[in-house]
Amino acid sequence: MTKAEIVSEIAKSTGIDKATVLTTVEKFMETVKDSLANDENVYLRGFGSFIVKTRSQKTARNISKNTTIIIPEHKIPAFKPAKVFMDQVK
């Protein structure tokens, strides 16, 4: 399902025009991205959590050049679904 399809479904079920729903959905996604960029997790009860995970430093190999490189510690966004959500999908 794409963002446009989500907007259409919400607009159809609530009776709100698509432009307003699209603005709301985009602002939600922007808020989640900004929060994660500032190391703040986002918790949506009954749905899940958008969290920032820290990957530790590790050593990797470049096989073609036969060299070892070090990948520094870095942060990645992740989503952890709520138990209620997981049970509904199963």
52 burial (CB, 10 Å; 0-12 / 13-18 / 19+) is middle
Angle at 50 between CA 49 and CA 56, to 5 degrees: 115
No. of helices (H) and no. of strands (E), the chain: 3, 5
Min mean pLDDT across 3-12, 57-66, 76-85 is at: 57-66
pLDDT above 70: percentage of residues in the chain: 100
| pTM, to two decimals | 0.80
Domain hosting residue 69, numbered range: 3-89
Say which CATH number the domain at 47 has. Answer: 4.10.520.10
Give me the number of domains the chain comprises: 1
Query: What value does the mean pLDDT take over residues 7-34?
Result: 96
pLDDT tens-digit map of 52-69: 999 999 999 988 988 999
Give the pLDDT confidence score for residue 84 in this predicted structure. 94
